[in-house]
Structure 1
Amino acid sequence: MNQLDSMRIFSKVAECLNFADAARQLGISNAVVTRSVATLENHLRIRLINRTTRRVALTTAGQAYFEGCQDLLRQLTAMEQRILSTTAHPVGCLRIASPASFSQSKLAMILTAFRAEQPHVSFDVTVYETINEIAAENYDLCFTAERRLRDSSMVCRPLVRMHDVVVAAPAYIARRGQPTTPAALTEHDILLATDAPNRYWEFRDLNGAHRVSLNPILTTQSLLAVKSAAVTGLGIARIANVLVERELAEGSLVALLRDFQLDSNERTVWMLYSGQPFITQVVRSFIDFVVDRYRDEDAVLARPTRSTRMALGSNDARIQ
């Protein structure tokens, strides 16, 4: 027996004092109403309603039970309204993990715009250098910028594709000169992030491929450290374009070798989150907001897919 449903049906009968009217208002059959009230009486082992061919009346116990049902159902309705109010207006703290490069370039703008729409949401952001430093499943959402996405059991949503550029500061160029061919890089000071795919950079032009072996003067896992070193004039660096947009616009960094195509120069910003069926409204609201924000940009949005074998290996790669 579903006691709550039986209580609702009994309460409607007690209001109408008519089984047929109660059935019509509830949108169920007379037989269901009669059977439900009888089941409830059997469960309580007491008669709640006296019924004859002419009239329906509550017993003394039935009147007391009806009043109790009304109180309980009012409380239940109020609780449901509070829950629905909360889900209609997201409230809570979002636990977000983000790579340092994304947190420095795009994340702050996203959080500011979302907070303007949802002022009752706060953020707890963990910044990391490499995805190996964190357990993505411990967060509501995790952003990651990868050339090749590692195996994941989470929902993985591609947001936008970035590309690397080779840059140097004007001070470095004034001191060491500007390379005009990839081969000339062997005579220059190279700053290398350890997330680079290889210890060489490969370029292409109409004449074919040009592979340049690297002997860096600085190696670090931090893209931000590479960027800072490049801005100060320490050497030539390969950095994601979104990380140096402002510096390129202001002239504190200059793009080099623009007549050559840099191979393996793309990485994708992914948003990872749990696919659990009862995802909270605040998380769902933020996911939808981020996806909508990138939809109008030069994005590679695809349907979210759960997969344990996902890779981005070429321009045409998609989540499988």
Structure 2
Amino acid sequence: MDILNNMRVFVRVVEAGSFTMAANRMDGTPGQTSRAVSDLETHLRTRLLNRTTRRIALTEAGERYYEHCMQILAYVEVAEAEAGNAHARPFGKLKVRSPVGFGQHYLIKAIGAYQKQYPDVKVQLTLANGMPDFIEDGCDVAIVGTLALVDSELISQKFGSAFSIVCASRSYIEAHGIPHNPDDLVGHTCIHLNTPEFPMNVWTFDGPKGKECVQLRPASLEVNTPEALATGVREGLGIGLIPIYSAISGLSDGELAWVLPEYKSQEMGLYAMYASRRYVDAKIRTLVDYLKDTMPVTLASDQEAARRFAQC
């Protein structure tokens, strides 16, 4: 007996409300449909349906079995889809969303390299901070940096980590001096990044003494993107805790200095997120795999470069 096929027939009968209608939808006969359900009941030694000449109704056992059948058949569909698409050709439009700084510094280059391997994929990249609404935004893949993922039905694949560093301009240091430990920041003008992820007035560091938190004075300037923060620090408006990918160009050209080089912010995980494991499109799968394969090396290279600049 083909139990899986009989499960499918049973589910179709329940959905259609009759053996005849289910048979028509499956291009079978009412006799075949009825026999499949009867064989299932014999196998289970349980009546699943109460039948009359006009209607059918689930028994209590049938209701429970129907719910389990739905779950089992859904898993089978996922397995078949993944196996069938394992070597599918990636093509079509891929909508990607990324935080502004990460997208500008890393993702555009990564997409260019990815498209050399998969030239039939056309990417629509949106740079915006915050968590996207996959339904409303029509997003296929979102890049997210966070200390901890919230419970979500989204699928997440970690491909790296990043941290922020304390930076100041040369002109600010000449005018106000340099902090030598996190507590010294209290006496300095600090620019705050105003995002839901981090409390503005509390900076948390990993350093020689482990985790340290500093309560700062209210900021004279608040910004909502790392890029605006890096610009404000370059202009000498204060000290900022800047993600490495937004600070690296200023460090390399000497406009920014990494102060407190023994300290860094708590590391954020970097994730590629997409909506479902079911029927994952080949272009989504291949982009996520590409990021997982290549981004750790790129991130580590920038982090090592930042450390070298701090020693100059």
Hey, what does 1:229 align to over in structure 2?
232
Alignment of 1:295-310 (within 5 A): 296=297
Alignment of 1:81-120 (within 5 A): 88-120=88-120
Unaligned 5+ runs, structure 1:
1-38, 40-83, 300-320
Gap change, CA 1:109 and 1:187, over 3 Å in 2:
same
- Aligned sequence identity (%): 22
2:234–2:255 CA contact under 8 A, matched in 1 = yes
Gap change, CA 1:298 and 1:181, over 3 Å in 2:
closer
Q: Distance in 1 between matches of 2:210 and 2:269?
A: 28
- What's the TM-score, normalizing by structure 2? 0.61
Cα shift readout 1:226-250 (whole Å, capped 9, x = no counterpart): 1111112211000111221222122
Q: Distance in 1 between matches of 2:278 and 2:210?
A: 53
Amino acid at match of 1:201: W
Alignment of 1:1-320 (within 5 A): 88-131=88-131, 134-137=132-135, 138-195=138-195, 196-203=198-205, 204-206=207-209, 209=212, 211-259=214-262, 261-262=263-264, 265-294=266-295, 296=297
2:191–2:233 CA contact under 8 A, matched in 1 = yes
Gap change, CA 1:215 and 1:278, over 3 Å in 2:
same
Hey, what does 2:10 align to over in structure 1?
none
Alignment length (residue pairs): 212
2:162–2:299 CA contact under 8 A, matched in 1 = no
Cα shift readout 1:79-114 (whole Å, capped 9, x = no counterpart): xxxxx99x7542211101111121122111111111
Aligned CA-pair RMSD:
2.7
Q: Distance in 2 between matches of 1:295 and 1:246?
A: 19
Unaligned 5+ runs, structure 2:
1-27, 29-83, 301-312
1:136–1:272 CA contact under 8 A, matched in 2 = no
SS at match of 2:229: helix
Q: Distance in 1 between matches of 2:295 and 2:114?
A: 13
SS at match of 2:152: coil
Q: Distance in 1 between matches of 2:218 and 2:192?
A: 9
SS at match of 1:244: helix
Amino acid at match of 2:141: L
Q: Distance in 1 between matches of 2:204 and 2:163?
A: 14
Gap change, CA 1:230 and 1:296, over 3 Å in 2:
closer
Which protein has the larger Cα radius of gyration, Structure 1 or Structure 2?
A: 1
Cα shift readout 1:255-297 (whole Å, capped 9, x = no counterpart): 01124x34x5211111101224222222222122222213556
- What's the TM-score, normalizing by structure 1? 0.60
SS at match of 1:90: coil
SS at match of 2:90: coil
